[in-house]
């Protein structure tokens, strides 16, 4: 569990973890240098459940940033499976039991040595837990069954880390996370797409708060229909915005290629290289590269928009 300036929400989220209907869990928390009462709240929970909750770097809570904080927790964990929690999530009571059951089934089919990632849908709520959208993935036009390849993850990430369960093989292969990745879930999804297996499950496993202090607010795309209307009314602005997003994505993809170049399949390496070359290609060459390497969004409509804007 990562934490930063979480005094308003941490109590609620830790309470939902403690109340899980699955008992064999341990909660490893790292505070990223909060200046509010967050650390006092975490210590209070740890003192109540000393055999279940531990605080990493308790006496030296430096600010490592989003991926640095997650990487520190991943390094410290020795668990066979790991799940990721933000301080403002609200987990459903059967979240852990369902995730462990699904992971054991996936490991039975693919083996524990295969990097495995399972994620679910999530309910979008406001700061007071009033429902905004019952299905975040449907609201944003994501189709998880079409988003399991490296080509897809060049463009977007539909796998939200707060819903993850990953096995030991993925935890080790995906760590450390470079700063260029910006967020842990996109990086781990890329690793799983290239070297393992991703399974998307349809159930909603938690309430996902959207409020002014969310790190991921800046990464949240518009809903599909709103995006289409906006593109039609102002295509030039969207073309500029798309290229800015493409440039940011290329930092992630270049970091991934640098980290795993010697281990990638020839197909995945060619896909990553084609994505990185897109801004340098001509009009028709860009579109050929997108189609040849299946650099697609999970939504057919967004893919059509990509071919139009590029």
Which spans in the chain are helix H?
Answer: 10-18, 38-48, 65-76, 95-110, 136-139, 150-155, 168-173, 184-195, 224-233, 235-260, 266-277, 283-292, 300-309
Q: Tell me how far apart the alpha carbons of residues 110 and 107 are, in angstroms, rounded to a whole number.
A: 5
- DSSP lists the bridge partners of residue 207 as 90, 123
Distance CA(300)–CA(304), nearest Å, equals 6
The ranges of the chain annotated as CATH 3.90.550.10 are 2-219
Q: What is the pLDDT of residue 219?
A: 46
Contact by Cβ (8 Å): 263, 195: yes
Rounded-to-integer distance, Cα 265 and Cα 82, Å: 27
Bridge partners of 124?
Answer: 133, 208
Task: Check: pTM over 0.85? Answer yes or no.
Answer: yes
Tell me if the domain spanning 2-219 has CATH number 3.90.550.10. yes
CA–CA gap between residue 268 and residue 229 (Å, rounded): 34
Query: pLDDT tens string for the chain (310 positions)?
Result: 999 999 999 999 999 999 999 999 999 999 999 999 999 999 999 999 999 999 999 998 889 999 999 999 999 999 999 999 999 999 999 999 999 999 999 999 999 999 999 999 999 999 999 999 999 999 988 888 777 899 999 999 989 999 999 999 999 999 999 998 989 999 999 999 999 999 999 999 999 999 765 555 444 555 556 666 666 676 677 677 777 778 889 999 999 999 999 999 999 999 999 999 998 999 999 999 999 999 998 888 778 878 877 7
Exposed / middle / buried, residue 228 (Cβ in 10 Å: 0-12, 13-18, 19+): middle
Give 1-34 pLDDT, tens digit per residue: 999 999 999 999 999 999 999 999 999 999 999 9
Residues 6 or more apart whose Cβ sits within 8 Å of residue 304: none
Taking Cα atoms as reference points, which of 245, 310, 250 lies closest to residue 283? Answer: 310
pLDDT at 246: 82
């Amino acid at each position: 569990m990562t934490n930063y300036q979480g005094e308003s929400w941490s109590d609620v989220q830790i309470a939902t973890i403690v109340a899980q209907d699955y008992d064999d869990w341990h909660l490893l928390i790292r505070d990223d240098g909060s200046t509010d009462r967050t650390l006092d709240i975490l210590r209070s929970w740890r003192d109540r459940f000393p055999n279940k909750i531990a605080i990493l770097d308790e006496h030296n809570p430096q600010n490592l940033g989003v991926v640095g904080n997650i990487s520190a927790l991943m390094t410290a964990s020795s668990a066979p499976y790991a799940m990721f929690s933000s301080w403002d999530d609200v987990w459903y009571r059967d979240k852990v039991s369902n995730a462990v059951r699904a992971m054991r089934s996936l490991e039975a089919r693919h083996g524990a040595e295969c990097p495995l990632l399972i994620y679910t849908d999530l309910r979008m709520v406001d700061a007071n837990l009033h429902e905004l959208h019952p299905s975040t993935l449907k609201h944003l036009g994501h189709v998880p069954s079409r988003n399991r390849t490296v080509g897809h993850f060049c463009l977007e990430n539909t796998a939200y880390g707060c819903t993850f369960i990953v096995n030991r093989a993925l935890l080790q292969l995906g760590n450390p996370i470079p700063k260029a990745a910006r967020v842990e879930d996109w990086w781990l999804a890329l690793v799983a797409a290239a070297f393992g297996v991703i399974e998307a499950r349809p159930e909603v496993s938690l309430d996902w708060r959207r409020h002014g202090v969310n790190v991921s607010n800046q990464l949240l795309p518009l809903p599909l229909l709103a995006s289409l209307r906006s593109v039609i009314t102002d295509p030039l602005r969207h073309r500029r915005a798309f290229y800015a997003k493409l440039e940011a994505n290329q930092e992630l993809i270049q970091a991934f290629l640098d980290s795993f170049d010697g281990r990638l399949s020839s197909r995945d390496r060619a896909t990553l290289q084609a994505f990185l070359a897109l801004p340098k290609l001509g009009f028709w060459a860009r579109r050929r590269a997108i189609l040849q390497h299946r650099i697609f969004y999970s939504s057919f409509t967004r893919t059509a928009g990509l071919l139009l804007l590029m």
